[in-house]
Structure 1
Amino acid sequence: MVTLPRRNRGLFSAGGAARRRPLANVDWFLWGIPLAMVLVAGVLIASTQRQANYADWYQHWITGAVGMVVALLLARLPLERLLPWKWPVFAVMVASLIAVRVVGVSALGAQSWINIGGFYVQPSEFAKLGAILLLADVLARHPVERPVDLIRPVAVIGLPWLLVFIQPDLGSSLVFGAVLLVMLFWAGMPAAWVVLLLSPLVSAIASGTVPWLLIGWIPLMGWLAWTSLPWKRVMLAVAVGVQALFAVLTPWLWEHGLRPHQRDRLTLFLDPGQDPLGGGYHLLQSTVGIGSGQLWGTGLMQGSLTKLRFIPEQHTDFIFSALGEETGFIGSALVVAGFVLLMWRLLQIAGKARTDYESLVVVGIGAMLMFQVVVNINMTIGLGPITGIPLPFLSYGRSAMLMNFMALGLCASVARRGRASPNRW
């Protein structure tokens, strides 16, 4: 009889224990939190359509189930096998975004969908994931050590960002920028450079709100460029010039580059009462609905504002208002805590990834999800502008749901093969 070495006996006994306890290695944070949100969201969507028939609530569960199957399949696929496909995937992504401009379907002021066999697909959702996969490879092979190294990652994100922005889909275009900044920082780019990349946005906002702030802001960015960048005199001039350019051009772009409804979305959150029956209506009704839930909520399927359809698009962008009304502060806090735990788990996976590429993919996915969470929740409670960004796993939308589960499948693949990993699902 052959005696197995001690190490191999341990492996065999661990496999036997795993077979006796098939759920022992399930990653409950990675899978349990999103699935719980999908289940709750189905009930909330059913509540929002009690007096209408614009969304079949059970389709949210069906899409979640299909997404879960796809995610489990991707979890068994090493990410390295995706690398040869990065450029074909990027090409298809760009082609689909161009196709939206040619044969796309318009809704809610944006031409963002393509009708494929009766199913409306939103290419911008899948473009987020495709851009993350390519950007992770670029940053893993070409770290940003000099300002000129920013050309590659900015070009990777810049093309899909532009194609999404001109749809026009302002919300999704913001996601690309957030993903780029977080992945650059994770890849080792100095924090001062991240601030400099964000600084033109601050200058643009200040030019239209508090122009006197530019008196201190522009010199501060010049000093930051002088102390953190090479070619000090050149970079100082570039930093100051860019700030001044954005400060001058923003008022013109505000008037001629954005449509009236887009301008309203960006400003009315400051005082929705200025247009209570127009652009501010969403925000006013959303905050009233969330506040009416108080501590414990009115109960699922019992929300008065939800039932009477006081809040437009509640099954999609404003699903958090239905959650607040029907589950109250407790239910809303649990959902927020769930997202925090999910992000914590993704950071764990990224920290234990075997390669820089895998780590960057997970961080990019985490940035994509959490940026959408923060913007959507702030939007529904009146702390941010209406940008049309859905709440992951809760808002109704087939493309977004499938893309989110595909992203989780890739994260699970990294977790299964990470350092000190117990081969968890």
Structure 2
Amino acid sequence: MVSALARSSAAGRRGLFSKRRAWRRRPLQDVDLILWGIPLAMTLVSGILIASTQRQAAYAEWYQHWITAAVGMGLALLLARVPLRRLQSLQWPIYGLTVASLIAVRVIGTSALGAQSWINIGGFYVQPSEFAKLAAILLLAGVLSRYPVERPVDLLRPTMVIGLPWILVFIQPDLGTSLVFGAVLLTMLFWAGMPLAWVLLLLSPLFTAILSGTLPWALTGWIPLMGVIAWRSLPWKRLALTVVLAVQGLFAVATPWLWSHGLKPHQQDRLVMFLDPSKDPLGGGYHLLQSKVGIGSGGLWGTGLMQGNLTKLRFIPEQHTDFIFSALGEETGFLGSMLVVAGFALLMWRLLQIAGKATSDFESLVVVGVGAMLMFQVVVNINMTIGLGPITGIPLPWLSYGRFAMLVNFMALGLCASVNRQSRASRGRW
């Protein structure tokens, strides 16, 4: 028995030494260059862009951006070494702690930019809503992997998981972050096997509300169409048809009231200015108009880093945060902007690959949830800066300045790297 243990120990040491020798010969062999390289490259470039937007403010924040990224990268590397099944056992405590912190924001939170979203802890401001996104993804993945959605009633559990933090974030009020929860829920439900028709039915009240305020005549075709989809895709057809039509009618009628009482004045202004920013070019429409001018002035090649006139003269308020893409467009031009968009698309493709090869449903759902969180923010932020969407206050991952958003994005990357590491180990690729 002793000799067997000795042989096993010797074999283990030989395997370890062979891995070290292989790593020395090819140090990047086991590094996922897409998963790690794209976010790091964007972070480096964004530091320069942030410095450009802050030239009249003594470069106050670009180095903080890089320092936060270094801390986030360290956390990501630590999480990449932790098997995700260990976090699965902690999903409820993590979720409960996050919800408690969101409740604490309502009691002792600090307000800024129209939202009470931060907690002051010894002079250090914490934003629980950012961490709530990851906590919700972990718990939602656990719920969906254990209780797949096969009937409409099965939607109750995942909706409750997302609904609680969504409500607490929405009433801060933080409309942008609350929208992320909805995108994550729908994407993970679809990945878990929910029919596409059900996804459309869940989204339909939103479209009904939009149509009732913009093209009310279109409701005469939209609402019957939703009824047909409900009849063909849901069980208990008569009941399903009645409920769907009632919900559509309720949203169509209640939208004016929701507009007046459900949205804050600054949120209403953002939606109105999105439709026609020229109505108030020096007020509510100023942000969007200047952003479009900055992006357009970059042309094909851009003015060069640190050379953008609108950027360095700070014509665009809060450009280093939500409107960093306008600085990118001005200083790197159309080609630089498209390179960043292509980078995000390539990253999403890699995340889908990792999710497809995951060793468990839980791990696969976590990766898809992270991908939905990141890509929803990318699409909304870029559309916002070029005038194709309302201003929602959603940052651009790894490019916008924001310490807690940066930390959460890197931590999410670490979770995906952990799944990738486990799937590679199961296939013997080391």
TM range (shorter): over 0.9
**Structure 1 position 177 matched with structure 2 position 182:** yes
Partner of 2:172: 167
Q: Distance in 2 between matches of 1:266 and 1:347?
A: 33
1:342 aligns to 2:338 (yes or no): no
Whether the 8 Å contact between 2:187 and 2:372 is mirrored in structure 1 is yes
The answer to whether the Cα contact below 8 Å between 1:27 and 1:424 also exists between their aligned partners in 2 is: no
User: Are 2:395 and 1:390 aligned?
Assistant: yes
CA distance in 1, matches of 2:407, 2:427: 27
CA distance in 2, matches of 1:31, 1:309: 32
Matched letter for residue 417 of structure 2: A
User: 2:105: which partner in 1?
Assistant: 100
Whichever residue aligns with residue 361 of structure 2, its letter is D
1:208 counterpart residue number? 213
Kindly state the Cα deviation for residue 10 of structure 1 after the two structures are TM-superposed.
Answer: 9.0
Moved more, 264-273 or 379-388: 264-273
In structure 2, distance between residues paired with 1:209 and 1:424: 55
Asked whether the equivalents of residues 51 and 59 of structure 2 are also in contact (C-alpha less than 8 Å), the reply is: no
Deviations 1:240-282 (A, max 9, x none): 0000001111111101221221011123112100111111100
| Percentage of pairs with the same residue | 79
2:313 counterpart of 1:313: no
User: Which residue does the alignment assign to 1:240?
Assistant: 245
Single out whichever of 20-29 and 40-49 deviates more from structure 2: 20-29
Unmatched 5+ residue regions in structure 2? 1-6
Query: Hey, what does 2:31 align to over in structure 1?
Result: 26
Say if 1:352 and 1:420, in contact at 8 Å, map to a contact too: no
Question: 2: distance between equivalents of 1:188 and 1:245?
Answer: 29
SS in 1 for 2:118: strand
- Is residue 142 of structure 1 aligned with residue 140 of structure 2? no
CA distance in 2, matches of 1:103, 1:295: 48
Match of 1:295, SS?
A: coil
Q: 1:424 to 1:380 in 2, by over 3 A?
A: farther
Partner letter of residue 48 of structure 2? V
Residue of structure 2 in register with 1:405 after alignment: 410
Partner residue in 1 for 2:338: 333
**Letter matched to residue 211 of structure 2:** A
Q: Which residue of 1 aligns with 2:3?
A: none
Give, in angstroms, the shift of residue 422 of structure 1: 7.0
Task: Report if the CA contact (8 A) 1:282-1:312 is conserved.
Answer: yes
Tell whether the 8 Å contact from 1:203 to 1:247 is kept in structure 2 after alignment.
Answer: yes
> How far does the alpha carbon of each residue in 1:66-122 deviate from its partner, in whole angstroms, 9 at most, with x for none?
000110000000010012211111111111111111111111111111122222211
1:14 shift after superposition: 5.7
Q: Between 414-423 and 112-121, report the one with greater CA deviation.
A: 414-423
Gaps of 5+ in 1: none
- Equivalent residue letter for 2:114: G
Q: Indicate the SS of the match to 2:400.
A: coil
Q: Is the 8 A contact 2:292 2:326 kept in 1?
A: yes
Q: Distance in 2 between matches of 1:188 and 1:230?
A: 16
> Alpha-carbon deviation of 1:419?
5.5
Does the 8 A contact of 1:25 with 1:423 survive in 2? no
Letter in 2 for 1:114: I
How many residue pairs align between the two structures?
424
Structure 1 length-normalised TM? 0.96
Which deviates the most, 51-60 or 39-48?
Answer: 51-60
C-alpha RMSD of the superposition = 2.2
- Report deviation, 1:421: 6.6
Q: 1:242 to 1:54 in 2, by over 3 A?
A: farther
